[in-house]
Amino acid sequence: MADADLDVVIRQLARQLHTGLMTRAKERRDRFNGLAAKAKGKDSSARFKMMAKATMEQATAAARRLQMSADNVADSYARSMRLAASTPVAVKAEKPAKKAAKAKKAK
């Protein structure tokens, strides 16, 4: 991974976070659905089902925002690296005599 571009690493980490977030959301949804099945009244059962649905909606929206942010950051990084690679760098050539004089003064 030392040779990998940072934009690829950013996208990979975002994908891992997305997977973890959705896994946790599904666990929470299943928990609420289980509580809805065990509920004694219609009102409490409906409330748990609504909570399960809202959990998935909120988690999906959060995962989408996370993915968009990661894509934007990765694209921005890749674009800046391409720009930096294409920009010529002006290098000052130092005269050999000055280098030798500086070396003597340092001693």
Q: What pLDDT score does 14 carry? A: 93
- Say if residues 9 and 43 touch (Cβ distance below 8 Å): no
Determine the pLDDT at residue 107.
59
Q: What is the pTM of this model?
A: 0.69
Nearest to 52 by CA among 71, 67, 23, 30: 30
pLDDT digits (tens, 9 = 90+) for 57-106: 999 999 999 999 999 999 998 888 888 888 887 777 666 666 666 666 66
Which among 52, 69, 56 has a CA at the least distance from the CA of 17? 69
Mean pLDDT of the chain: 86
Residue-wise pLDDT tens digits, 3-22: 558 888 999 999 999 999 99
